[in-house]
Every structure is written in structure tokens, then in C-alpha cells.
Amino acid sequence: MSRADCRENALERLCTLLGDRCSREAAVREARAGDASWHSGPPPDVVVFPESTEEVSAIAAICHDARMTIIPRGTGTAVEGGVIATSGGVCLDLCRMNRITAIHPQDRDAVVEAGVTRKQLNAALLEQQTGLFFPVDPGADASLGGMAATCASGSAAVGYGTMRDNVLGLTAVLADGRILRTGTRAGKSSAGYDLTRLLVGSEGTLAIITEVTLRLSRLPRAIVAGTCAFEQEDRAVAAVLDVLAAGVRPVRMELLDAVQMAAVNAYSQLGCRESPTLFFELHGGPAAVAEQAEEVERIFSACGGFEVQHATEQAERDRLWQARHDAYFASLALRPGGAGYVTDVCVPVSRLAECVRRAREHLQHTNIPCPLFGHVGDGNFHVVFVIDPHSAAELAEVRGIQARIVADALALDGTCSGEHGIGLGKLDALEQQYGETLSAMRDIRRALDPLGLLNPGKVLRMPE
């Protein structure tokens, strides 16, 4: 049987298995040709919508027999091109695997299918009056399987950690259809290799995550959020370091530069001063939160901050954080028709001021809109270059600036990606970071997917 015949036979088997949940319609395929970034590519050859781990296993086995590639997809909210079908293949859309399998309030964990979104889980926890929530908050209402696949974090990571800190176990499917179950719900385990941590952040290149067991957190008894404007960006960064040094543990500590504040004001009608601004949030008991809020305000004032505005009511906080979460889209609105090219470096907080200072030196030489914002409480910040997606010159320019920002972060003991993953967009940056160490990563990938069928072209360049 020729390769083309083998492929057609596989497509027929997929249609027999899934019925109308296997689509070759152009509109369905085109809708899954990109993500939330500037990256683009050809559409997949077919889109499948499994509803169980067993169906994912069967799909993988069919594709393995036919040597067809598989591109897992969640909500498509990522920004590094990790869901693009670079050479056709099968888009495995997990949106129908959206059941919350179990919630265990006493153990503070939940088991969810990969297509369950963050907001969906938190709504269920609230409806069942568990007193718990899932704290990892990347801003977008991403699928929890996708968040695990990219090791997402977001604004609350300084207080609650990243996905790697909050995933207890996984169910995943290998390229040949074998089903893995990693981790346990136990409070600790020293049994065998930690495959959970290997798969979290692997971006669908080692296995397809179909179910996630998550650690939950207790809802805080009191919350104070607010903003503080600064005349100078370096003083805002200094204030963050002083807050952390004082023993205050903010749940969120975000920096938006003056350009980003102007964009946010225009996009979200926030009405804040258009200067470098810190957004912060504190959780805990009422007395402790009040005491910490006073300490934060004192430190901000000592560092030159002014116009400290507190948001104690839920509606005020929701409006504030929605505006922050929409910062990426506010950036895009600076240049209608533009596309976002996003940096994602993270450094030790003690090196943050230097990394931001060096980034500023690189940014002053471009005319491309490039607001800066980020989760500075854990040393992570982003520059959003709003580029003309059709301009090769602009793309080359921002790639060069990104390479210099990454080089600076690595020199300061940091990483090229704090939370967005590698996908297509940071292949060069990962090579900058790890060099020859990538050979060990390639060995792991070959061991789990020797035919190279899972999300090809992402994370690592694999020699033929």
C-alpha cells in the first residue's frame, strides 16, 4: 500500500471511529490553523474531536500505523505557535473532553479532563461550596490540559506557583496509543521516575495529556488589591524587591510600563495614571491582609510611588484584573491589523532591575510599538512587539531584539521562557539557553516518540 493509500485508509478508520466528530471541512480546519499570536501555518488535514482517553488512544494507534502526525489542541490561546500543523496531519481538538471527573474537598484536589477550562473548574468549586479554588491564572480562560502542556503560570504564580507546582498527576497517551497514568493523589511519593513533571511543559511532543489531577487552594478570607503609579520604572522594580525583602508575600505583583498603561486605559477604560504602575493583590486573614497592605503602601511611598488605589470590593478587583489580563489585546489595539510577538524571559528577582534596564536599551532603537509588562513578583516580564505580520523586515528586527533580551536574561541566570513555552517561536532561544544539553532532551523525545509523530517542529529541532 502506498503512503497516500495508507493515509486515506487511516482517515476512513478515523471517520468510522468518530463519525461526525471527524471533520475535513475547510472552515473547521482553517479555524485551527493558528493561535493567539503572529504565528501562522497550513491548516491540518483533518480535525478530530475525541470524548475520552480511550478514543485518544485509538486515534493515536491509527495515526501511528499510518505514520500521520498529531497536533493536540486546547483552546488555542497560546502565543508561541505550539498548536500549528506545520506539515498537515491530524488536529486532535480536546474541547469535548470537558468533564470534571472528581472533586475531593477534604484532600483539596480535583480530577479533570484536558478540555476543562480554568473558569469552568472554579465555577464548579464555587457552586459546590467547597471553599476551594484553582489558583493558577494565565489570564486567558485556557484549558487545563493546555496549561499543563505549556507549564503555564500567570499573575498568581508568586503566591501559588506554576502548573508544575499544582499538577499532582496525569493521564496521557503515547504516540503508539499506550495510556500512561502518572503521579498519585497522595500527599507525597518517592516511587519511580517523576513522569508527571516530565510531561508538564512538554507541549504535546512526548504524549497527549487527556486528564489532569490538580492541587486546589483554600479561598482566602480577605483580599486587598490595588495599584500604585511611579514616575520611574526602575523605582517600581525596586519597590517590588523591597516588598519581598520585607517578608510580605503578595499573591500578585505586576508591572505595566507607561505605554502599556495608556493602552490599557484606552482598551479597558481603566482611568489610571499613564506612568509605570504596579498592580498587586494580597490574600490571608483580615488582620494580616490589612497589616500587609499598610506595609506595602509604606514601601511604595518610600520608593517614590504615589496614587496608591485599593480595590477591596469584588467588582473593583474583577475590573482591575480583567484590565490586566487584557493587556495583550490592549497592546494589539495600538496598531490595528498588527500581530503580537511576545518575549517571555524570567530571571531571579534580584537580577530583575538589571534585566529590565538592558531590555530598555534594546527597545529604544525600534519604532515598532512595544509595551512592557509582566509578573515581576517572580522575575518574569514580557515585551509585546506589535508587528506588521506581512513585514519580513519587522519580523527580522524583533527576532534580533528578542535574541539580545534572551542573551541578557541567560547571562543573569534566567530563562528564555517563564511561562509561554517554546512552541515554534522560541526554538532558537532554547538552543541559546541549553546548547549541548538539548541532546539529552532529544534522546528522551526519540524514546517516547521514535517516529516523531507528536507535534513535530515544536520545542526541539529534531535531526532527520
Over the chain, what is the mean pLDDT?
96
Question: How does residue 337 score in pLDDT terms, banded at 50, 70 and 90?
Answer: very high
Question: How does residue 391 score in pLDDT terms, banded at 50, 70 and 90?
Answer: very high
User: Residue 7's pLDDT is what?
Assistant: 87
pTM for the predicted model, two decimal places: 0.95
User: Residue 401's pLDDT is what?
Assistant: 98
Whether the predicted pLDDT of 115 surpasses 90: yes
User: Residue 311's pLDDT is what?
Assistant: 87
450: amino acid identity, one letter = P
Residues 420-432 as b/e (b if ≥16 CB within 10 A, e otherwise) read: bbbbbbbbebbee
What domains lie within the chain, and their CATH numbers? 3-95 (3.30.43.10), 100-218 (3.30.465.10), 222-329 (3.30.70.2190), 335-436 (3.30.70.2740)
User: Residue 142's pLDDT is what?
Assistant: 96
Question: How does residue 139 score in pLDDT terms, banded at 50, 70 and 90?
Answer: confident
Give dist(CA 339, CA 326) in Å, integer. Answer: 15
Q: Is 386 exposed, middle or buried (0-12, 13-18, 19+ CB in 10 A)?
A: buried
Q: What is the pLDDT of residues 87-104, one digit of tens each?
A: 899 999 999 999 999 999
Give dist(CA 196, CA 152) in Å, integer. Answer: 15
Long-range contacts of 358-365 (CB under 8 A, 24+ apart): 358/405, 358/408, 359/383, 359/405, 359/408, 360/233, 362/401, 362/404, 362/405, 363/401
Q: Average pLDDT in the 253-264 region?
A: 98
Q: What is the pLDDT of residues 415-425, one digit of tens each?
A: 999 999 999 99
- 356 with 233: CB under 8 angstroms? yes
Q: Average pLDDT in the 287-291 region?
A: 96
Q: Which of 78, 103, 93, 79 is nearest to 32 (CA)?
A: 93
Whether the predicted pLDDT of 464 surpasses 80: no
User: Residue 462's pLDDT is what?
Assistant: 95
Helix (H), strand (E) at residue 103: strand 100-104
Give dist(CA 374, CA 362) in Å, integer. Answer: 17
User: Residue 40's pLDDT is what?
Assistant: 87
Q: What is the pLDDT of residues 36-47, one digit of tens each?
A: 888 989 999 999
In this predicted structure, which of 1-15, 58-72, 165-179, 387-401 has the lowest mean pLDDT?
1-15
